[in-house]
Structure 1
């Protein structure tokens, strides 16, 4: 490895370690919503287990990471995300990026096919990007012309141009819960990146304290757009807010914030509070949607009804409601010829997450034409085959007294504790030994997909269950033993 590459590797390693440390710290803070109706709604959400996340916007035309290529921070994963050959300087690049609005025309957009595939895969809820950090609105907002329904966007002439409404309606017809992703930061509006000053990082381009009237405009703008989503788009079950740096900060937190340098790259921390009055926002939202779950990501407080580790499965789970959001391929947004995870890996991740008490939100990025990659459809179909057989061991279950044994055995249990599900990532050669469970004289064991009662023997060091080789073809992936205790 040459010195340049070695330096970059060290930088990224330090950055990842720092981000993971921050993420882990955030995961240790949880403040339950005092509303018992929301607590009950969270229990219903925990029963769903499996959902679909979709990152889609004008950036799909360039096949690049969503939004971040217009972030002016000197970081490899921001500057490195830029489309090569577009412009020699940042200002011209942003202009070219924003001009993508004038060519966005996903004529093959068919949300009914997405919804049918998600339902067939066993997904029970969805989250769709109504607006990402770049500020391009995938819904018909009244507060911005930078939107899919504006006359500058070719797709605006299509009868299905209000993409968010079409997506919500399609998934709602398949009885999936509806989730609205919404970015709190907006890098297009003058209320956030005020053109009076150049943007230097992901944060406001001005001092919130010095120009409170400008920040008040941004707060009102944010509240108004979210009000549209909960007023004009039918029942919304989850409001999934991204951009955790837009948050209220105490004086102590402001003083602690600073710019940090990692091997010559500037990692921006904004030393000011970005308070958009979340308590008031949630109050207004629930006046329209009383049971809506609010997820103010990475911001500890009552407005973060569940936590969302990203591209990461907590080693031992978390002691409160949580959901791992993770990409099916490598990128959140569409990238041509992206590499999709094998079906077996996706199912094992689902089982691992559920065994630890979490939900799995799996992301697919639609193409600029409005299609899923054929490989994504294949993966959903194959997951669906497995879920149709084994879904009872997933849905509505809760964490057992421990999530598993070693790398290849996981557990879930029914809410009443009478049924134990044992997931085997590898089919055993003859017997499987389970250390941390105890059976009684009335216990019966079956492999899901077979009516044959399995022989078992209990001893001082656990239980041995006999699994005939003839039962292996029941599934191609994870095998599930259902134990009636």
Structure 2
């Protein structure tokens, strides 16, 4: 086994996740529950959150779960000595439970770093598609707290609870990621049949008793998370192929492979979740209807604003899961993504993947520190902001405050840019009187005047120099209403 792991790790170095497309759903249904509406509005104000994919797959440093799936796609390909021996590979993968021992696990360290970077909510993978539970489920022994897992003897073995408690102490909203498909349980991939693809491997209509067992299994696991893990603000459900067949959108390529009815009774799950967690946001990804309270474009930013609540989930590195020697995006790119997303009315959920010992790469901490330094100066234009037309002009992106009496213009600076321009032309907000224009972080007064529907701004020579860590400058434009 040691030789196998060494060979597999060697082949997996540098392997990067190829993002699966998750389209935004049409026909958004606004929630009607006042508590959900309130929670959703609060969430929209937070703007910046932390995502964490973590499981036994980090032991090998491979893409999360997908190598178990018999589909020939970039993110599903197996590597290592058992690549051509599917069942031996599955056995070796599931035996990672016996080796996964993240002794450096310290969720307070993560929470403090995320808070300092300006993050306001967290979404953690309690269970990915492989079925390994990072919480103390009573429905399966394929979990981190089972005696087969060496970390089960650690007093902090119930990882999800420890993470939620640590981040809750730092006033984060708490999100529980949960995979609806479970490729470990015999109620979804029945060993009587070989799995063919990501979907259930039997016909639920032909074997309704077995499908009911899967529905009960899923309901009970989600109920545990809603009962025993403190206040949960978001139930983030992944695996959109587990859905009523009638909701399949055949214009979306990956949904064309859904051929069977996989209804898990979301009304029953949602009613239970909201009884135990009043006001909880439910994100049934890519399944349009009343249980997709916000949409989740993955590894992408919409080209224009969406008129519904949305969140781009994107990776700090190239992979959602831990991969050795992953390439982390520079802080400048992350700040620019944040500005673009917020200017279009969305939230930014940035993924950082812990490694097998239970900590992030030191580079991730450095990135968060750099982001936090910029946020400290410019967060006023990010948090609780709203979009405003024209949203962007070239490299300038706009937001406005809730009262709509202040507009923020973010000027994005590419690496190597050393000076602001000597003058700017920005659009004038209609129906209000311009009161003041200032460059945030500078004590110098700007000279400005209105010309037709524009504001002409002159930046003094002394105020034009840019420090290397000034990834974007923020112009604050204040108005009064007559």
Q: Give the structure-1-normalised TM-score.
A: 0.90
Superposed, 1:188-203 pairs within 5 Å as 188-203=184-199
Counterparts of 2:131 and 2:251 in 1: how far apart (Å)?
Answer: 26
Give unpaired runs (5+ residues) of structure 1. Answer: 1-14, 261-265
- Shift in Å, 1:441: 5.9
Secondary structure, aligned partner of 1:338: coil
Residues 315 and 253 of structure 1: is their aligned pair in 2 closer, same or farther, counting only changes over 3 Å?
closer
- Shift in Å, 1:473: 4.1
Secondary structure, aligned partner of 2:375: helix
**Aligned position for 1:28:** 26
**Aligned position for 1:9:** none
Secondary structure, aligned partner of 1:421: strand
Counterparts of 2:168 and 2:433 in 1: how far apart (Å)?
Answer: 46
- Shift in Å, 1:108: 0.6
**Aligned position for 2:97:** 101
Q: Say whether 1:48 aligns with 2:46.
A: yes
Superposed, 1:256-295 pairs within 5 Å as 269-295=257-283
**Aligned position for 1:187:** 183
Superposed, 1:149-228 pairs within 5 Å as 149-228=145-224
**Aligned position for 2:408:** 421
Counterparts of 2:259 and 2:243 in 1: how far apart (Å)?
Answer: 12
Residues 325 and 257 of structure 1: is their aligned pair in 2 closer, same or farther, counting only changes over 3 Å?
closer
The answer to whether the 8 Å contact 2:63/2:75 transfers is no
**Aligned position for 2:347:** 359
**Aligned position for 2:13:** none
- Shift in Å, 1:146: 0.2
**Aligned position for 1:235:** 231
- Select the residue among 466, 478, 481 that pairs with 1:484: 478
- Shift in Å, 1:337: 0.7
Counterparts of 1:67 and 1:467 in 2: how far apart (Å)?
Answer: 53
**Aligned position for 2:131:** 135
- Shift in Å, 1:291: 1.4
Deviation per CA, 1:210-250: give whole Å up to 9, x if none: 00110000001001000000100000010000000001122
The answer to whether the 8 Å contact 2:440/2:474 transfers is yes
Superposed, 1:419-458 pairs within 5 Å as 419-426=406-413, 428-435=420-427, 437=429, 442-458=434-450
Counterparts of 2:131 and 2:84 in 1: how far apart (Å)?
Answer: 23
Residues 403 and 215 of structure 1: is their aligned pair in 2 closer, same or farther, counting only changes over 3 Å?
same
The answer to whether the 8 Å contact 2:420/2:466 transfers is no
Counterparts of 2:321 and 2:423 in 1: how far apart (Å)?
Answer: 44
RMSD: 2.1
Counterparts of 2:86 and 2:474 in 1: how far apart (Å)?
Answer: 53
Counterparts of 1:393 and 1:315 in 2: how far apart (Å)?
Answer: 20
The answer to whether the 8 Å contact 1:444/1:453 transfers is no
**Aligned position for 2:333:** 345
Deviation per CA, 1:355-386: give whole Å up to 9, x if none: 00000000000000001111100000010011
Residues 469 and 376 of structure 1: is their aligned pair in 2 closer, same or farther, counting only changes over 3 Å?
farther
**Aligned position for 2:454:** 462
Counterparts of 1:438 and 1:457 in 2: how far apart (Å)?
Answer: 15
Counterparts of 1:313 and 1:88 in 2: how far apart (Å)?
Answer: 37
Counterparts of 1:151 and 1:214 in 2: how far apart (Å)?
Answer: 28
- Select the residue among 107, 111, 119 that pairs with 2:107: 111
Deviation per CA, 1:102-133: give whole Å up to 9, x if none: 10000011111000000000000000000000
The answer to whether the 8 Å contact 1:439/1:458 transfers is no
Deviation per CA, 1:135-173: give whole Å up to 9, x if none: 000000000000000011111111111100111111111
Counterparts of 1:331 and 1:300 in 2: how far apart (Å)?
Answer: 27
Give unpaired runs (5+ residues) of structure 2. Answer: 1-17, 414-418
Which range moved further: 131-140 or 85-94?
A: 85-94
**Aligned position for 1:6:** none
The answer to whether the 8 Å contact 2:248/2:255 transfers is no
Counterparts of 2:37 and 2:432 in 1: how far apart (Å)?
Answer: 35
Secondary structure, aligned partner of 1:78: coil
Secondary structure, aligned partner of 1:188: coil
Secondary structure, aligned partner of 1:325: strand
Secondary structure, aligned partner of 1:443: strand
Q: Say whether 1:334 aligns with 2:322.
A: yes
- Shift in Å, 1:50: 0.2
- Shift in Å, 1:324: 0.3
The answer to whether the 8 Å contact 1:73/1:267 transfers is no
**Aligned position for 2:9:** none
**Aligned position for 2:56:** 58
Counterparts of 1:371 and 1:338 in 2: how far apart (Å)?
Answer: 14
